[in-house]
A and B are shown apart, each in its own frame.
Chain A
């Protein structure tokens, strides 16, 4: 895998934005409330919403912590773009540092701060409660996510994402570690505040962390959610689905196709079930998911020892 010149961050960011927009368009198509309306109107939903929010004024609240608030709302998008730096598309990547996987993990932990700050900064009860809702949700998904990330690293014997992709030349890691793959996808929904894990953006609290920001702030926060989903789908492709491996088509196209497929699955799951409250999923996360992930890691480690 070749590292790219610095300007490669521009097309990488553009790719994330395009995929995030496509995810938002798909979400519009899948929304049952749009059924019976012309397809163009449903596909164009990201455009209408973006136009709305660009036209809308920003607003403030009583005595907000303005710095934390604005930084927090911009945070998810920034984190997603920083994550995208290490996500390979076929054989191309902006950077492939020896600790690429740790970079990704460190950034998803940075979301703890930024989403909390987005909730706290507005000085509103709904935002504040929702910021803490995110922390409790993160407490449920973060450890399983870390161990799920460890599994491909152990199997490949490297934290370098290029080598993890290369180690899947015979079998994709999803075959060897299906549980880690599933846990990773759930965690992606978790840090993107998406679908059943949108508890911190809950409608029961007037949108939670989304209760106060308007205009550009809201646009950036919403775009950040889709961008995180996109980058998560891209990373799952590299870690578990063999990256750009596939017959006939070039590697970069395979990478994009697999990413699109995972992303579509993540978008579709939004309407399949109600939101999971953190207090209810905590038990499941710590008593079932975490042991399963550890068991998965054990199996992978034993296989790695036997194979080498």
Chain B
């Protein structure tokens, strides 16, 4: 009993939190990230790694179902909570951690393992499928071999992934053959957080670029640097003086530009040509990067340059992702570009390309179905 309590107390000192954000909940997500760092919580990489499941914002039906499914996959002891107000993030997180160290929680009656009990489904000619799963189909690959084609959705619950984004992929091995992305809806109409206008717009846009950059660095497997950029993003949203922020940004920029390994990871990858950018109506930093090589490296460099200019007091443009027109938000083009460029890449590269374009789900969930606008 004493041991159980001790284990519970120790375990709660480092809770692993899986925060699933709905589109349009960027403000709440940022608050949750700050509070998680404050209590020493870790962002979980997968359901298997999580003690706490947080639904951030107000997810729509499909995302709510996905969250329920993920909840059933948490090994436990586990706690679940909803946060829909940036101001309550700290209180909810602290309460959740208290519940986690509760010995009763560890004694949660054994859940039935829904996988083990699932009846074998029948498919087509009464063929039994292992575990009720479909068998993979075959298709020709790029070397004209017949290989298994697997349909895999990336998201909506994936670390360092745009909120509510689902990328339905057809893969052979880990090579993407087809990609189609969509944004799950939110229960309440989301208001794009980054597209601020008015006096604070420059800062907001600068923070938007930094948020994109931290996600890219996390996907590239450089968590230490991603953490630094996240800190800078958070200070950019406070009233820290611009020159201080620019000093930090310059230090980060030097590290990134001097890192040969980052260049290996991003050089020549996911080249978005100026013509494609034009055709897909991509404006903003991604389109400007298209004139500087158009690869992932060019895009993260563009973020650094434009963030610095914005922090130096340059007036904000139409929006951090570019110009939106009614019915066609700027991120729609970015999402379409990510789908096009993913084809033929392996999963790691496809994720880097998506992170380097970083469509803003807040814009897309607010807009009419992006699939129509694509064609």
Contacts and interface: CB of A to CB of B under 8 A. Distances in A.
Interface of A: 31-34, 37, 41, 44-45, 47-49, 51-52, 54-63, 123, 125-126, 129, 132-133, 196, 198-199, 202-207, 210-215, 218, 270-277, 279-281, 284
Contacts, number: 155
Chain B, interface size category, equals 35 or more
B163 to A, nearest CB: 16
A60 B115 contact: yes
B251 interface: no
Interface in B101-130: 106, 110, 113, 115-116, 118, 130
A279 B352 CA distance: 14
A129 B73 contact: no
A62 B220 contact: no
Given A52-B51, A62-B132, A215-B75, A275 B220 contact: yes
B59 interface: no
Contacts of B113: 59-60
B212 to A, nearest CB: 16
B77 A56 contact: yes
A34 B40 contact: yes
| Main SS class of interface, B | helix
A59 B48 contact: yes
B221 A275 contact: yes
A211 B76 CA distance: 15
Interface string B6-45: 1110110110100000000000000000000100100001
A62 B131 contact: yes
Interface string B197-225: 00000000000000000000111111111
A116 to B, nearest CB: 14
Given A41-B40, A125-B152, A211-B46, A55 B265 contact: no
Contact of B227 (A32, A203, A215): A32
Contacts of B133: 62-63
B369 interface: no
| Main SS class of interface, A | helix
Given A56-B77, A63-B131, A273-B261, A48 B48 contact: no
Contacts of B174: 129, 132-133
A57 B76 contact: yes
B348 interface: yes
A213 to B, nearest CB: 6
A203 B346 contact: no
A196 B10 contact: no
A206 B45 contact: yes
18 contacts: A32-B224, A32-B228, A51-B7, A51-B10, A54-B7, A57-B76, A57-B77, A59-B73, A196-B261, A198-B221, A204-B219, A204-B347, A205-B347, A214-B75, A215-B75, A273-B261, A274-B221, A280-B264
